């Protein structure tokens, strides 16, 4: 499955109304840690058809970043049934991202 770039115009449809859990990657092209996470996010997107993987460029979509309270990037957010169920800040290894997707984080955050 390919990664979907999220903008205000497709946010509601692709994220909030998704019938699959969504992994949202808040990033920016100038962010070194974001560039390190990108191959992991792409790998997960290619391996997992049961989730939707989306990216939000915080420079292009500051309002969406603000709605999610994004203060640092990369920030990964999981959304299920229109609700935020997990969030982690900073570059994380694949296994931690997969745990977050499975709800392995206490209280939905790392």
Return the active site residues.
31, 34
Backbone φ, ψ for residue 34 (5° rounding)? -65, -40
**CA–centroid distance for 20 within its chain:** 13
**Residue of 14, 9, 6, 12 whose CA lies nearest to 70:** 6
Question: Helices 32-47 and 94-101 meet at what angle, rounded to 10?
Answer: 60
**Burial of residue 3, with CB atoms counted within 10 A of its CB: 0-12 exposed, 13-18 middle, 19 or more buried:** middle
**Residue of 8, 75, 41, 103 whose CA lies nearest to 16:** 8
């Amino acid at each position: 499955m390919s990664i979907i770039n999220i903008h205000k115009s497709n946010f509601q449809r692709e994220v909030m109304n998704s019938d699959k859990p969504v992994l949202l990657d808040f990033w920016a092209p100038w962010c070194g840690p974001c560039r390190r996470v990108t191959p992991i996010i792409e790998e997960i997107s290619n391996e997992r058809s049961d989730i939707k993987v989306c990216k939000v460029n915080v420079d292009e979509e500051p309002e969406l970043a603000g709605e999610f309270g994004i203060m640092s990037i990369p920030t990964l957010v999981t959304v299920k049934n229109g609700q935020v169920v997990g969030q982690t800040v900073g570059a994380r290894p694949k296994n931690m991202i997969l745990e977050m997707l499975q709800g392995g984080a206490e209280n939905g955050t790392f």
